[in-house]
Structure 1
Amino acid sequence: MTNQTPNFYALLIGINFYFPHRLPEGNYYKNLRGCVQDINHVETYLKDTFNLTPDQIIKLTATASDNPDQPQERPELLPTYENIVAKFKELTAKAQPQDRVYIHYSGHGGRAKTIFESLKGFGALDEALVPTDIGQPNSRYLRDLEFAKLLEEMVAKELVVTLVLDSCHSGGATREMSGDDRIRGEGFIDMTLRPTDSLVAPLQELAQNWQASTENSRNITVVNGLLPEPKGYTLIAACQDQEFAYEKVFEGTERNGVLTYYLLKALREYGTEIPVKDLYDRISNLVHNDFKRQTPMLIGEINRSFLGSKSVVANRNAPVMKVDITKNRVQIQMGESSGLKKGAEFDIFRFGTRKNEDSEQRIATVKVVELGASDCWAEVTQLFGFRTINNKLAEGMIEIGSPTVSLSPGLKQIRKVRVLLPDPLPQISGVNVEMLPDILKAKKEQVEGHRWIEFCSEDEKDENVDYFVSLNSEGEYWILEENKELVKNLLFPIKVDEPEATKRLINRLIHIARYESILELDNEDASADFNVNGKLKVEVIKSVKRQEVVLNADGQVPVLESGEKITLRMHNESKQVLNISALMLQADLGIVKFYPKSLGGEPVDPESSKDYTFHMDLPENYQEGVDVIKVFATVDATNFELLELPPLDQPRPGIGDKNPTTALGELLSAVVDEDNPQRNIRVVTDASEEWTTEKVEVVVKKSVV
C-alpha cells in the first residue's frame, strides 16, 4: 500500500437497479447485473493503491434487493439525478487546482426528447446518463448539456480529470440487441414529458457552454453526442457509436463490465503511471477480442499517465491486436488504408517500450502475409531473447498492445528523377555545373530515406520519369513534374551555390515523393455489391445569402479566400456504419489529420452524413496555394495520424531524426528490399471491401484588403 495521496478524489457511480415503470410504448430500463460490482472493484483498487480516506471517494450505487420495487441502498446513497449533480458539485468544490479527479460510471445510457429545443431544434434528442429512478414520471436524466457543464467546471478549476464510461451511449447501437442481457443500453427514445429545469445551471448558461464547446471543437461531439470533444480531460468510453457495452462473468459467478475488468487488470499489472495511450492499446484490443461489437474509445488529453501525474508523449506506433500462437503470427492495427502492402515487415517491442531504438526491448520481427483495410496479420520470422525451435511463438512472448515499428513498407514507392542541364551551361562561381548530375547522385546516397528516389540512366525514356531537376537563369534549382511543369507550391528556391544546396534538394525530392504517395493513395476495387468503395461522397459547402452552395459540384475546383468558412459534408452512402477521417494536404506540402482531432474516426450511420465546419487558411508567406482535402471511410477505425507530414524543408520524423516518433515515419523512410525492386507511382489496393477514399482540391488565396 502506498502513502496516502492527498490530491486524489474519485466519483464512482454504478447502477444495477432501475425503478420499475413502463415508459410510453411500453419501454423501460431493465436492471443490470455487473455495474455495482464494477464500482466496488474500482473502489477497492483506489483504496489499496492510493490509501484514500473515505472523504476522498464519493460513491453512488443502486443494488437490486429481494424487493423488486426497492434497491438495497438508502435514498441519500442512490445515483438519482439530484444526488449525481450534488456529488459532482461537491467534488468540484472540494478539489483544488491540479488535484487528480477520477470519475467512473457504469450503467445505462439513453436518449430522450430534448428540453433544449431552442438550441437543438424541433424534434431533436438529448443524449443522457440514466439515473436509477428514471422510471418515475417526474424524474430527470443527466442530459448531455448538463454533463458537459459539470465537466467544464472541473476543467475550469484546473483539475486533472479522467473519465471512464462503461455503458452504451447510442440508441441506434441497441436496435439489434434482441434482448441480450449482457448489454448496457436500450434502443428506445424516451418521449415522456419531464421537468425542464436543471440543477446544474440555468438553461441559458448550459446552452452557451455547449455552443462554445462545440464551436471551439468545430461541432465535433463524441459518444454519440453525449459530450463535446474533450478538452482538458481524458475519456475512455466502453464502445463506439452503434456498438454495445457488454457484461461478462470473468471469475466465479460475478458479472463485470468488460471494459472495467480489463482496465483494472491492466492497472494492477502495470501500475498507475502507465501512459494512457499504452493502457488503451492494451485494453481496447482485449475488449474487442472478447466482443467483436465493442471497441473502446480514447479521447481527449492522452499525453499523460492514466492515474498518475506524469506528462508523457503518446506512443503513436501501431499496436498488436491479437496473438495467434498456432499459426505463429500476430494481428497489427494497420492496413491497406494506410498504404500497407503484403511483405511489409515490423519489429515488435515489449509492452510499454518508449524508445524504438532500444534493441534490448525488441521481441520479434514479423512479415505481413494477410492484409485488411485497417489491420493485417504478420508471421513471425525471427524472435529475440527467446530459446525456441524455428522461431515459434509460445504463450506470453508477445502481449496485446505491444508497439510495432515498420521496417519496410512492402513495396518501393520510388520516384525516378532526371537532371536536365541548360544549354549553354551557366557559369556559377565555386560550382562545377557540368558535374552536378554526378554530385547529386553521390549526395543522394548520404541522405536518409534516399531510396524513395532514384536517378535515371541516360537511356531511360522521359515518359518514365517522375521529376526533372534543372537550373534557371538565376542559378536556382527547379523541380519539375513529369509534364515538365514546376511542382506547385514551392515558394523558396534553392540556389546552387548555397551551403548544403544538394542535400536540401535531395530532401525536397524525398518529401515530395512521400507527399504524393499519400495524395495518390486509393482503392480501386469495386468488384462486389457490398463493397464500401465508391460509397463515400464529399462536398465542400459555402453559405451564400443563407443558402447552401456546393462548391465542388461537377468536379469544379473551389476558389476561396484565406480565413473563409466552409462546411465539409461527408456522406456515407453504404449500408453500414463507416468511420470517417480527413487529412488536409496543405500548400506547404505538409499533411495534417484535421478531422476528427482526437478519434481514430467519427462513426457515421448508413445513408447519413456528417458536417464539419472550419476556416481555410494559408501557410505563412503564401499568397496563393492549392490544398487537398482527402477523406477516408473505413469499416473499422484506424489511425490516420500515421500519414501526417511536416511542411516542406522541416525535419521529417523518421527521416531527419535518428529516432523516429511515428509509425509512418518508420514506414516511409524504411530501407526496402533491394533484391526485389518494385516501383508503383499510384498506390492502389487489390481487393479490399472495407475502405474507400475521396479527395477535393481547393485553391486558397490571400484576401485582398
Structure 2
Amino acid sequence: MGGDISTRWAVLIGIDRYSATEMKRNLDGCVADVQETKSFLENCLAVPPNNIDILTAAVGDGLNSQLSPTRTNVLKTLKNLPRKAKPGDFVYIHYSGHGDRRRTENADLKKNTTLHDEVLCTLEEDIGDVELGDILDYLAEMGLFLCVVLDCCHAGSATRHRADSDKIRCRSTMESPESREESTHDDAPGTRGGQRNMSAIESYSWLNRPRRYNLIAACQSYEDAQEITTGSRTHGALTYHLIESLRSFGASKIPVTYESLHQTLEPKFQSLRLRQQPLHLGDKTRIVFGTALSNETPPGLLTSVSNNNNSETVTLVDGGVSHVGVGDCFEIYRPRHVYLGLVHGKAVSVARVRVTEVKDFESTAEVYYGSLRDVQVGWLAKMSHRAQRCDVNVWHHGGRALGKAMTDLAQSSRDPLAPTTLIFDQRRHVPNPDFNVEITQQGDCRVLDRHWQQHEHLPLARLSQQFGVERLTYLIQHLSSYRRVAEMKNSGRRPNFTFHFGPMANPPSEYLSAWEWTFTNNEPTRVLYVAVLNLSPAYGVCQLYPGQKADAELVERRQTVSDGIAIEIPPLLTPASSRKGFQMRDVFKLFITTVPTNFSHYEIHDLTDNVLPSGGRNGKSVSLNTIAPWYVVEAEVISSFDGVVYHSFLRFPNQASA
C-alpha cells in the first residue's frame, strides 16, 4: 500500500570538475545538487546515511579511485545495488552533470528510431543510453523500485547553463573541432543564450523505451538544462525546484504521485520563464518514494485525527464514504514520522485504535494499545487491519495446471488490508456474497454479481496469463468501489428543489447523444450545494460537475444552475458497439447537500482491456469541510444499436426523486 515504507537507498552523482586546466569546461552547481538532495533524503525521508552512495567531483578535486564519478565507479555502484537492497526496496538515482548526444554505436537497435546515442558525461568515459537503460531494467527486474533523476541535457542539446551567464556549458561546444565531429549538435539550439529551438522535433530516445521505473529529466530533447543561482549557491534548475516541490508536499497526509509532482513542477518553470520543461517518463500513478500505485491506496487506508475527545477515543476525518468500517484498526503517528504521506520505516506509532462508530464523513475510534494523551489534531492514522470486507465466492472447476495461480489468489486475500475475502470452500454457504467468481479449467474468470448475473462488458481476466491473479484481484476491487457509489442512497431529508434532465436542444453531432440538466434551489432561506457524478458503462466514476475535483457547487436560494452532458462510447466497449443489439448504460447521480462537501474522492478510472490499472485511482480529496447528509437524484441514459443507427433514451429509477 502507499503508506508502507520499504528500505530506501540512493545513488547521488554530481560532476562540476571536467578539466583541471580549462575552466570553461566545468560546471558550478552539480555538487551542490548532490549535497541538497542528500540533506533532503536524510532529514525529511529518514534515509540512513549508510544507504546513500555519493560520487562527486568538485572543481579542484583530484581523482579518487573509489569516490570519483568515473564511468567505472558509477556502473559498479549501480550494479552492486541488488547486493545491498532487497526486492521491494526503493532506490533513488540522481545525476547532475553534462549530457551529450553522439552518433549511435547501436545502429542495429535504433535503426527505426534514432541515429544518436544519448550519454551521461561521467569522468574518463561516457555512459550510453542503451547501457544505462539495460542496467535500470536489470535493477527493476530484481524487484527494486526506481526513481531516476537526470539534471542534464539528455538529447538534442548537451548544455547545462545559467540563465544569467553567457558561459556555455555544453560539452560538445567545449571540444576541439575534431572532437566535435563525433558529437551531433547540428540540430540543437545554437545560440549562446540557450534559445529554445521551437522548430525542433523531439526524436525518439532509447531511454523512452517501455520501463518499469520512473525517470525525471531536466528538459525536453530540444531544450537546455539550466542552472540558477539562489543566494550564494548555484543549483540545477530541475534539482532546485524538484526539492522545493517535494518540501511543499511534505505535510501531505495523502501519498504523492509522479503525476501530482510533475503538475507542480511545470508551472514553476513557466512562471520563471525558464527555457526548459521537465520531462517525466514512467507510470504517473506510482507514488513518489513509495513502492505502490495510487490505486493501491484506496480511501480510508490513510487518514488523520480531527479531534482528541479524551484519553480513550479520537475522531478520524474519514468515515463510511471512505470505506472505513466498525472494527477497522489504525496506528497513529507523530508528524515527524510522516513525510509525503509516507511513514518512515523505523517509526513507532504512539497509539493503536479500533473504530467503534462510523458516520458518513467521520469515525470514532477507541485506544487499545498505547496512549492518546499527546495525540493532536492532524496526526496521521494508518490502517493496520480492515475488519469489513467484500465476500467473494470463488468457484473453480478443477484443473491442476492452475494450482499455483489458485494458491497465489488465496494468498492475496490474506493481506490484513485486503478489501475482499475470497471463499474457496464450495461447501460453505454464504447467503449474500458481494460477488461470485467462476473459474473454468482453462483459467477464464467470470465475475458475477450477488444474484449470479454476469457483469456486462467486463474485460477478460485469465489466471493462466501473466499477471492473471493481479488482474482478477484488481477487477474485483475496482467493481467493489464502483458498486459502493452505485448503491449510495439518500442519507438526509429531501430539500426543496427542482431538477430537470432531458435531451439537449441542439446537440453536437460528434457525440452519441447529448443531454442537459438544470437544478433550481427552491429553499426560501438557505443555500444548497450540488455535484454530479457519472457512473460509466466501463465501470468508472467521474465527477462531472463541478470540474477540477472541486467542492460541490454553491447554489443560492432561488438560483438555477445547469450543465450539458455528452455521451460517448468508452474504449472498453468500442469493439462491441457496432454489433446489433449492443446496449450500454450511463448513470448520473446528483448529490444535494446543505454544507460544502467534496465528492471527487469517489472517482475511479474506466476499466480497459488490459484490466490492470493504467490511470489509477484519481485520489482522495483533501479533508471534507464538515459532515453532511446528502439527497440523491438518479438518472440513466440507455444507448443501444439496432444494427443501423444508435438510439438513446432516458429513465429515472426513482421517479419520486426526479
TM range (shorter): 0.3 to 0.5
